[in-house]
Amino acid sequence: MTGAAPEPSPSLVPRIVRKVLVTVLVGGVSYLVSNALIHGPNEDLWSLLLATFISGVVFVVQFLADVDDQLETVLQEQRRQHTKTHNLVADSFAKINEASKLFGVVEMSALETRGVAELVQNAAKIRDDMPDLVKSLVHHEVTRMAKFLGELSDGRYALYEGEDRDWLLALARNARVSLDAISLTSVDARDTEFEGGFWHTDLGQRYVKLQRDLVQRGARVRRVFVVDRSERLDSEEFRRVWKWQTTVGIEVRTLLLADAPPLLRGSLSDFILFDGVVYYESNPAPQVGDGIAPVIHSTILVQDRERVRERAERFTELWEAATPAA
């Protein structure tokens, strides 16, 4: 509110003039009629009093009619404001109720409330004047996270198209009991030899450092390298890879593909079992020729108990069939 007085309506003066003119006209006509009908002493006085009375009644009636119109206008505006306020309050309470339900669900979940609340608060900071590209990126990431949570909460698997980075590092960082891995040369070597392969990338080195931290926390980390050709077992590049891993506390064994159990030989896959409750599997695309590094076609994260149990049994078979790296 500014405190300024409201401006008078432009029609206020014409309305007053109209009332005065109507009153004067009715008064004049009343005076003429009464003067013609009233005869006797003081006839002019009685005619004037009667005309004045009638004029007064006409003026009051006009005033009451205007007051009634204005009251009706005020009532209509009050009804409109009441309806608007009611809808606004109802919508606000509905939003509050929905937000309360959402946070109630979060409180009952195993997730930390602080993290979810921080996500919501940061999402609210995305302003409408930000570039459309930035808003589209944020929407994409939120949708992707919602899809990821939905897939895991339903007990299904989560699928990532291509080579994942975040899941692998997060799982290695948060594991507590064990990490059991089957590493295929088709995934790790990325080429005809190990040099320049996965373990020499930024992701591979970060992954090994997290496994070192995991060992220092008292967890057991085991890895079976499944090698497709015998000459790779003695290659200097491969020796550097497995020796580096043993120095940080990882138990390493090697297995020639031809020595793998016959029932598993045709269905080997590159997977990592974390704490015996979830496994992470990389699926490489078919290699089209020698010297051409295969790419990771997809990454899958599975927590289904039956499938996890099957992977744990498969790892045990391969671990027992493999020999300690030396």
Q: Which CATH number fits domain 158-324: 3.40.50.300, 3.40.1790.10, 3.90.76.10, 3.30.870.10?
A: 3.30.870.10
pLDDT recorded at residue 21: 74
pLDDT recorded at residue 125: 82
In DSSP terms, 301 is beta-bridged to 158, 280
Could you say which residues of the chain have pLDDT below 50?
A: 1-6, 8
pLDDT recorded at residue 102: 65
Q: Are 326 and 318 in contact (CB under 8 A)?
A: no
| 5-51 pLDDT, tens digit each | 445 455 555 777 776 777 777 767 776 776 666 666 766 676 677 77
Where are the chain's structural domains? Answer: 13-125, 127-155, 158-324
pLDDT recorded at residue 225: 93
Dihedral of alpha carbons 145, 147, 149, 152, sign: negative
pLDDT recorded at residue 38: 64
Question: Given the DSSP bridges, would you call strands 270-274 and 178-184 parallel, antiparallel or unpaired?
Answer: antiparallel
Q: Are 185 and 232 in contact (CB under 8 A)?
A: yes
Q: Is 274 helix (H, G, I), strand (E, B) or coil?
A: strand
For residues 211 and 42, what is the distance between their CA atoms, to the nearest angstrom?
122
